[in-house]
Amino acid sequence: MRVATDIGGTFTDLVYVDQHGKIGVAKSHTTPPNFEKGVLDVIGVSGIDTAQLDTFIHGTTVIINALTERKGVKTGLITTKGFRDVLEISRGNRPDLFNIQYEKPAPFVPRYLRQEVEERLNYKGEIIQKLHKDRIQEIVKYFKKEGVEAIAVSFLHSYSNPVHEIETVQLIKELWPEVAVTASHEVTREWREYERTSTTVLNSYVKPIASSYVDRLERELSNVGNDSNKYIMQSNGGTTTFEQSKQTPINMVESGPVAGIYGSAILGKIIGEDNIIAFDIGGTTAKCSLIDSGEVKVTTEYNIERTERTAGYPIKVPVVDIVEIGNGGGSIAWIDDGGSLRVGPQSAGALPGPIAYGKGGTEPTTTDANLVVGRLSPKNFDNQVDMENVKTTINEKIAKKFNTTVDEAALGIIRIANSNMLNALKLISVRKGYDPRDFALVAFGGGGSMHAPALAKELGVRKVIVPVATSVFSAWGMLMTDLRHDYIQTYIRRVEGINYDELNEILARQESEAVEQYAGEGVKEEHVLFSRFVDLRYLGQEHTVKVPVPNGKITKEGMNEVIQKFHELHQQLYTFKLEEAPTEIVNLHLIAFGSVQKPELAKLENIGGTLEDSLKEVRPVLYENHGWIDTKVYNRTLLNPDAKLSGPVIVEEQSASTVVYPGQKVTVDAYGNLIIEAEV
């Protein structure tokens, strides 16, 4: 049996699949700060036999929480002489352009813990000044005195040659074996010293936290008789072993959210859809990501705490390319100083939550608006919803200001929220040169299925897929993942005149590194699959395009095909190509998957009964351009495979509601997914 547990802000979700491919889910409260307790709780709730488990996969917010709450350990940094302030200088940018009082993000390591050592490489990785080893001893002594618990080492040009970093780490381990150490080349082999140093520092900062969490979890699991293979979800959409996760915990920074994106790609493969837009609406945010021909996009241009108004901190590890906006079920509707209606990014969160929760919420939210227009039913809430209060508040705070009815105001809130989400969806599709008509939208999270059919119509997507267990789909995605490691090496070379022997040697080295790492994790070489890319650009450009490269030795002819593909992709992404211009390689990117045995998914059982049996009620629902329509509401759990419904119609399940527009058609597929034909 495979089990996935995913820790969220409010709930810890569990999804399992047994040897017959049958899926089960459970939910339990998240238990900060001892998150492992929530995991054990949800295992208890699910009633699974822990001894039957052969694979345990875990998604966790422990790392991102430690970072955003500044709960990591006291960290010291060792840098090349002359560059201790790189972390504080950062890139010097000020995103909040007109704000004189802009507050630059404070470095995670204060100046007195940033120490310099004489050593220097040039851009080619050649040593021009040897490492001054005695200085390392002094620094270690000083760090001990200052009560440092973790050390980061980041030297200039170490992406090109890590020799001095390796020597330094060895020395530190000899002098102080128990301290947590990270050298920059261990977390990223890309150039740009500020970004690499930031990544290294953040890894060290959370390393002891990650170790103690993973160890506690492992102990607790073995206490309940579990000796399964244990994996942790990484931000790149794949998993890694518990052991490796303790070395480079920064790879877990987006552990949970990416699983749903990855799951969308897997679901697409199962049902024959290669081009997917994955779309997740939670309580405070909506997230989306585009999957082109089954390929989940991964980027190393990730930042934490970056907004339109602040620079945040870069983390240069592979993270699934997600666009996230502050629009979820709990997002607050408000009127700005210029009299325009806005929704989010402020959220009522879980507490007090929307007005409807009856926990003291006083601001109208998207969820409240959905109640007023009949898209959500008060009957599906845990509490007794005071609809009068919801309506009165929307009337007072929104409708009166615009001189409209409560209904129109509620619909206005939903339309503005949809407009925000539509812009995010366009950002990843139309604006990147993709035609939405070639894509299917996979909608999940608590609110995904409620908004997706309307958005699909606006965006021009032909099909919406609402997966089984839509509200815990991220955990489902984890069940389906393979192990994955990314190896990215900055390698600046003009394509013309490139030394193919050297290139192939480096590629081979990356592959053997991967095979070796997997061997250490118990994965045999025949189960390691490679996928290779180069980041290319026109000479003189900064930004690169990721271009797939066939496996095996690269020849001149093979490279010509890669360059042709690059021109095509450049044209698609940026509307032009420069076929005459020289091209340049920036990074070599190897993805190594460690494939694991996964159960075949079971098809949805026909439980008999007619469509009428699954009809819950008929209630009035307000649709833009149509007005109020009496709409049939079906119970999803009673729908049989091949059931067909026509919009307007609502399909309800536990903690999700799918709102289908007039003219749209729904089919339940063989696995139980709802397939909505979006185009009218």
Partner 1 sequence: MANSVVTKVDPFTLDIVKDSLVAIGEEMFYALARTSMSPIIYEVLDYASGLTDAKGQLLTQGNGVTGFIGMLSFMVRETLERYNKAGDLKPGDIFLINDPYGGGGSHLCDVGLVMPIFYKGELIAFSANKAHWTEVGGKDAGSMSTDSTEIYQEGLQFPCVKIYDEGKLNQAVVEIIRANVRFPDLSLGDLWAQVAALKTGERRVQELCDKYSKEIVVNSINHLLDHGEQLALKSLRELPKGTYEAVDYIDDDGIEEGPFRVQVKVEITDNEFICDFRGSHPQVTGSINSTLTGLVSAVRTIYLAVTNPSQDVNDGSFRPLKVLTDEGSIFNAARPAPVSMYWESMLFGSDLIWKALAPVVPNRLSAGHFLSVCVAILSGKHQDTDERFLIVEPSVGGWGGDAGKDGASAQFCILDGETFNIPVEVCETRNGVLVDEYSLNIDGAGAGEFRGGNGVVRSYRSLTDNQVFTASFGRHKFKPWGANEGKDGSINYFEFIKASGEVAGPFGKYNQYPLNKNDVTRLVTGTGGGYGSPLKRAVEKVVSDVKNEYITIEQAKNDYGVTLDPETLKVLELSKDRQ
Binding region for partner 1 (CB under 8 A): 82-86, 88-104, 110-112, 122-124, 156-157, 159, 191-195, 309, 336-341, 402, 404, 408, 411-412, 415-416, 419-420, 423, 426-427, 431, 492, 538, 540-543, 573-576, 578, 581
Query: At closest approach, how far in Å is the CB of 311 from partner 1?
Result: 9
What are 608's two structure tokens? Answer: 């008999």
Query: At closest approach, how far in Å is the CB of 418 from partner 1?
Result: 9
Pick 310 or 655: Cβ nearer partner 1: 310
How many whole angstroms from its chain centre is CA 430? 21
Give the bridge partners for 231, in sequence order: 57, 241
Q: Are 360 and 394 in contact (CB under 8 A)?
A: no
Pick 198 or 673: Cβ nearer partner 1: 198
d(C-alpha 101, C-alpha 25), whole Å: 49
Q: Which residue has 């705070």 as its token pair?
A: 397
Neighbours of 42 (CB within 10 A): 26
Pick 241 or 429: Cβ nearer partner 1: 429
Pick 200 or 239: Cβ nearer partner 1: 200
The secondary element (H helix, E strand) that includes residue 208 is: helix 193-223
Query: At closest approach, how far in Å is the CB of 443 from partner 1?
Result: 21
Task: Please name which of 155, 178, 175 lies closest in space to residue 166, comparing C-alpha atoms.
Answer: 155
Pick 32 or 663: Cβ nearer partner 1: 663
The secondary element (H helix, E strand) that includes residue 5 is: strand 2-7
Q: Say which amino acid occupies 78.
A: I
What are 415's two structure tokens? Answer: 């339309």
Pick 384 or 575: Cβ nearer partner 1: 575
The C-alpha angle 181, 72, 169, rounded to 5 degrees, equals: 5
Neighbours of 177 (CB within 10 A): 8
Query: At closest approach, how far in Å is the CB of 421 from partner 1?
Result: 12
- Region of residue 373 (left: phi > 0; alpha: psi -120 to 50; beta: else): alpha
Give the bridge partners for 15, in sequence order: 4, 25
DSSP character at residue 108: S
Pick 270 or 341: Cβ nearer partner 1: 341
d(C-alpha 620, C-alpha 628), whole Å: 6
Query: At closest approach, how far in Å is the CB of 287 from partner 1?
Result: 18
19, with CB counted inside 10 A (0-12, 13-18, 19+), is: exposed
Pick 29 or 431: Cβ nearer partner 1: 431
Pick 83 or 231: Cβ nearer partner 1: 83
Pick 157 or 207: Cβ nearer partner 1: 157
DSSP 293-338: TTEE-EES-EEES--SS---EEE-S-EE--EEES-STTEEEEE-TT
Query: At closest approach, how far in Å is the CB of 191 from partner 1?
Result: 4
324, with CB counted inside 10 A (0-12, 13-18, 19+), is: middle
Query: At closest approach, how far in Å is the CB of 536 from partner 1?
Result: 14
Q: Are 11 and 28 in contact (CB under 8 A)?
A: yes
Query: At closest approach, how far in Å is the CB of 100 from partner 1?
Result: 5
Helix 406-428, helix 387-394: angle, nearest 10: 80
Query: At closest approach, how far in Å is the CB of 548 from partner 1?
Result: 20
Query: At closest approach, how far in Å is the CB of 184 from partner 1?
Result: 11
Pick 500 or 574: Cβ nearer partner 1: 574
Pick 112 or 628: Cβ nearer partner 1: 112
Query: At closest approach, how far in Å is the CB of 194 from partner 1?
Result: 6
Q: Say which amino acid occupies 598.
A: K
Neighbours of 401 (CB within 10 A): 13
Query: At closest approach, how far in Å is the CB of 96 from partner 1?
Result: 7
Pick 124 or 644: Cβ nearer partner 1: 124
Q: Are 363 and 333 in contact (CB under 8 A)?
A: yes
Pick 339 or 608: Cβ nearer partner 1: 339
d(C-alpha 366, C-alpha 418), whole Å: 10
Query: At closest approach, how far in Å is the CB of 402 from partner 1?
Result: 5
- Pairing relationship of beta strands 55-59 and 229-233 according to DSSP bridges: parallel
Query: At closest approach, how far in Å is the CB of 409 from partner 1?
Result: 9
Length of the chain: 680
Q: Is 393 helix (H, G, I), strand (E, B) or coil?
A: helix
362, with CB counted inside 10 A (0-12, 13-18, 19+), is: exposed
DSSP character at residue 71: -
Pick 58 or 84: Cβ nearer partner 1: 84
625, with CB counted inside 10 A (0-12, 13-18, 19+), is: exposed
Q: Are 398 and 333 in contact (CB under 8 A)?
A: yes
d(C-alpha 463, C-alpha 469), whole Å: 19
Q: Say which amino acid occupies 621.
A: V
Query: At closest approach, how far in Å is the CB of 444 from partner 1?
Result: 25
Query: At closest approach, how far in Å is the CB of 455 from partner 1?
Result: 13
Task: Please name which of 590, 588, 105 lies closest in space to residue 315, comparing C-alpha atoms.
Answer: 105
Pick 80 or 474: Cβ nearer partner 1: 80
d(C-alpha 287, C-alpha 421), whole Å: 9
Pick 96 or 438: Cβ nearer partner 1: 96
Query: At closest approach, how far in Å is the CB of 576 from partner 1?
Result: 6
